[in-house]
Structure 1
């Protein structure tokens, strides 16, 4: 998944039959790069939950959901399930982002980096905007103070002086080739 994910609302149902003329509608919140993948994921999830598949059903509505306030930074809690090499795991993660879709995209990237979880093996169960007081993870909580510090540097034992030195632009130097010169005594 190289694209930013988008949030879609997909509504589908079984095709009407003589036995059931008005089948119930099923609505899902799907995160996908485009509407084609969103519909495909809808059928994947709905076939697991209900006795329904694409050949015997129809999509009633598929539309993109837009963020109400995309200029305000929010905290998001994401509940997910993923399949690893050893089994299925449930997980709760927190992210800070402007949009829900941005937080879910961060989650997919993070799961791939930290747990080697592929996108197809991750199932997002619930995404919720959470208040600063309800946040649990230190990576998110460090931004809730009035003067944020890079606390992880201090926790790692890295002094702020060293960090300032590391960020300073380096002056150009000639490469030291002394170790590469060989004297064979010929």
Structure 2
């Protein structure tokens, strides 16, 4: 099956203070709801060897975590992110692009959205864990200004090797209130 993939608009190199990136024409960014969970879980299954379950997503939404979905002009779900605010920082719990759409800039776009959303919530630090073997994601995070601050031994289930460590990454930025995200509709 061949899928026509729209190009992502050129984005500035990662700004020091996150700003909301432009979406491709006709694309939509929305809050994740319980109605999205089935489609999200299907993408998760295709994207990862050890995916989150439907229950993981349902529990995150029930706990008040911020889920965002990215849809193309046909309203097909392309990707999603799950964010958890904790005191004065945001934890990026999950960010996934449908494998059909990977390597076309949508992960970069969704990470930019996650950073800008964090800033819009007046938080100035984002933390995440990533597998060292996920070299594509790791390269994206480093390009976006994340730095390694630690390692969690045996954090992830792995295949034949037992368990895999998690690298803990952080990105901080200025608390400049003039750079806060605002849109005509408000914050995400």
TM over 0.5: no
Return the index of the structure with the highest Cα Rg. Answer: 1
Larger RCO: 1 or 2 (CA < 8 Å, sep 6+): 2
Q: TM-score, normalised by structure 1?
A: 0.25
